[in-house]
Amino acid sequence: MLVALTDPMDPAGEAILRAAGHQVELPGAGGLDALLARADAVVVRRRLPDDLSARAPRLLAAVRQGVGLDMIPVEDCTAHAVLVANVPGANADSVAEFVIGQMLSAARRVETMHAALLSTGWDRSRARTAEAFELRGRTLGIVGIGAVGARLGEIASAGFRMRVLGHRRGDAAMPGGIERVELDALFAESDFIALACPLTPETRGLASAARIARMKPGAWLLNVARGPVVDGEALLDALRAGRIGGAALDVFDVQPLDAGHPLRALPNVILTPHAAGLSGEAMVRMSVGAAGEVVRILAGERPRSFINPEAWEASRAKRIALGHPAAEVLPA
């Protein structure tokens, strides 16, 4: 069968797909739409159109090479018997370590010292150390205690001896070293606030003007979730006024970040291009994991990280209608 890639994947993942007998293609001259029209599965690294099924009538699988499902129109897929899967945890170490790097850069003034060293010299650069501080004893608040949040909490608590606060949906127990608190308290008490939650209707605008106003004067907001989780205008106002310490942002409402965006002109921000989860090791794990899920689905098996199991029976009927055999369900 034909597996469409929205973007290149690591050769290890592509090798798994080809070893299973599948054809693998990237968008060509006709673009992604022309490829989707022929595809049996798609591996996703960029946002798919909301009317995906209308553009991809043969599609049986949409597999996220990563975690965030906001790139896949899950409801449309479910309505048209397309199975959706992702690879949770594959980039958890990469993202958690990235957040630690953001905190260290902010706390030790790495970015400002670098710029001062190049522009004004050695002594002026060293003078910035008067603003530096250690992470030990500071408070980290984590919004979203999934694989990333749990790993981040472990590193911060055990490695840096920070106090770690956490907020998550539901009443599942917190991992060791993380104290459960409500969101308003987390924003008010934390020296660093790390957003590591998925983008959902409930989390859109979660870092609101009211919650940003609760932040400590020197606190930093770290966003490795999705841009719309933050009220962008409220954050800009707080940064411009110096009401918070700063922001380290890896994601934005519109990506790529516009060349004229006002964030680019602010001295108290660290900007990166949605790269927190893109270490070499994470890319291998995400590619291999996504390829494995595609192979399972196209073989008529349930994926391991099954996002829309309610589409299972309809998917089996669709396979038969398309002329593909419907394999028996393997034991979980």
Predicted confidence (pLDDT) per residue in 257-275, tens digit: 999 999 999 999 999 999 9
Predicted confidence (pLDDT) per residue in 63-98, tens digit: 999 999 999 999 999 999 999 999 999 999 999 999
Rounded alpha-carbon distances, angstroms, from residue 292 to 47, 85, 174? 21, 10, 30
pLDDT at 36 over 50: yes
Predicted confidence (pLDDT) per residue in 41-53, tens digit: 999 999 999 999 9
Walk me through the domains of the chain, giving residue ranges and CATH numbers: 2-88+280-321 (3.40.50.720), 92-271 (3.40.50.720)
What is the predicted pLDDT for the residue at 330? 39
Mean pLDDT on 3-21:
98
Banded pLDDT at 326 (limits 50, 70, 90): low
Rounded alpha-carbon distances, angstroms, from residue 143 to 149, 200, 210, 254, 263? 7, 13, 16, 22, 23
Q: How far apart are CA 237 and CA 328, in angstroms?
A: 57
The pLDDT mean for the chain works out to 95
Banded pLDDT at 236 (limits 50, 70, 90): very high
What is the predicted pLDDT for the residue at 91? 96
Mean pLDDT on 185-211:
97
What is the predicted pLDDT for the residue at 195? 98
What is the predicted pLDDT for the residue at 332? 39
Buried b (16+ CB within 10 A) or exposed e, 181-207: bebeebbbbbbbbbbbbbbeeebeebb
Q: Give the least confident one: 7-11, 124-128, 312-316.
A: 124-128
